[in-house]
Amino acid sequence: MRNIISFDTKVNCSLCGQKGFYSEGHEDPRCPRCNVPVFYNDIYDTFKDDDIRVLYDFCDTCKIVFDHSGCEHAENGCDWQIYNAHFISKYEYEGDVYEGMPLFENEEEWLKEGGKIKILETICPNKNSICPKACYPKDKHPQDYRECDLN
């Protein structure tokens, strides 16, 4: 595991075409960096609800973790959402504080070490990115869009 302080995305919103850290999903969310679907691992059922390994999703392609359902970019109904993903920006691991986010060797390391990470701060890199082409646009359906309280 190592710490990274910046990274880019290859994802474009499938509705408006904007580039950003979007996680689109019906059931399986997609990675906001590479757009590959993230599948559920039964081992997560063995962790507590507030465990970081339950709250965050791991991308086996990028080896990063993220909160895929950070805040809404596009609400489209029928369980089809496009979210602005949220990321760890400061954390504690084995007594040291890191500014940035962890990058793992592989899923095994995430499952083994993830539980030792204490999140101190999180960020929303797409903050206030609202889709102009959403099926339920924010101006007509404001109740479907949460205020993002992150930086």
| Residue ranges binding Zn ion (CB under 5 A) | 13, 15-16, 31, 33-34, 59, 61-62, 70-71, 84, 124, 131, 148
SS3 43: helix
Closer CB to Zn ion, residue 94 or residue 139?
Answer: 139
Closer CB to Zn ion, residue 98 or residue 104?
Answer: 104
Rg (CA), the chain: 15
Distance in Å, CB of 149 to Zn ion, minimum = 8
Closer CB to Zn ion, residue 85 or residue 117?
Answer: 85
Closer CB to Zn ion, residue 81 or residue 84?
Answer: 84
Q: Which residues contact 28 (CB under 8 A, 6 or more apart)?
A: 37, 38, 39, 40
**In 3D, which of 18, 4, 118 has the Cα closest to residue 62?**
4
Distance in Å, CB of 30 to Zn ion, minimum = 8
Distance in Å, CB of 96 to Zn ion, minimum = 26
Residue 104 near residue 111 (C-beta atoms within 8 A): no
Residue 37 near residue 62 (C-beta atoms within 8 A): no
